[in-house]
Amino acid sequence: MIKQKQLGNHLLIEYYDCDSEVLKNTSLIEKHMIEAAKIAQATIVESVFHTFSPWGVSGVVVIEESHLTIHTWPEYKYAAVDLFTCGNTIKPWVAFKFLEGKLKAKRADLTEISRGIVDRILEDNKNLL
């Protein structure tokens, strides 16, 4: 199968049976997400994280190449993560494996989506002219 030229790559990740204490710790989750961006060779712009009551974390690391997000449910030992990267220098698969280890996930499901298929974009633009 020939891979089409795309603008971005989006990894949708489900981490199961994680360490609940890690998933509750907002500062630790932010630290891991920032480190994941760095080891993926992304350029960090800003990070914002929120702690829910009684527990759970949502956060985003905005990168020049798009974003990394996380939402945790410590009571279910579950985390949902999106790694959306543009360009061909970023390594989201490295970030995926890093986070799997840091969250102490026993299992992970991953869906990869190509974003911005160039042929489709150009076809759409022809219809606008």
CATH number of the domain at 95, please: 3.60.90.10
Residue 37 in any domain: the answer is: yes
Active-site hit among 10, 18, 32, 86: 86
pLDDT reading at 25 higher than 60: yes
Among residues 88, 108, 86, the alpha carbon closest in space to that of 98 is found at 108
pLDDT reading at 121 higher than 80: yes
Range of the domain at 115: 6-128
pLDDT reading at 35 higher than 70: yes
Residue 124 in any domain: the answer is: yes
Residue type, 23: L
Residue 61 in any domain: the answer is: yes
Residue 33 in any domain: the answer is: yes
Active-site hit among 20, 66, 67, 114: 66
Residue 1 in any domain: the answer is: no
Return the percentage of the chain with pLDDT > 90, whole number. Answer: 80
Average of per-residue pLDDT across 47-68: 97
Q: Give residue 87's pLDDT band: very low, low, confident or very high (50, 70, 90).
A: confident
Residue 128 has a pLDDT of 54
Long-range contacts of 51-59 (CB under 8 A, 24+ apart): 51/26, 55/23, 55/24, 56/23, 56/24, 57/23, 57/24, 57/25, 57/26, 57/29, 59/26, 59/29, 59/30, 59/33
Residue 102 in any domain: the answer is: yes
pLDDT reading at 17 higher than 80: yes
pLDDT reading at 1 higher than 50: no
Residue 62 in any domain: the answer is: yes
In sign, the C-alpha dihedral spanning 34, 35, 39, 43 is: positive
pLDDT reading at 129 higher than 90: no
Q: For this structure, is 86 an active site residue?
A: yes
Q: For the chain, what is the mean pLDDT?
A: 93
- Domain count for the chain, please give it: 1
- Residue pair 76/60 in contact (Cβ under 8 Å)? The answer is no
Residue 49 in any domain: the answer is: yes
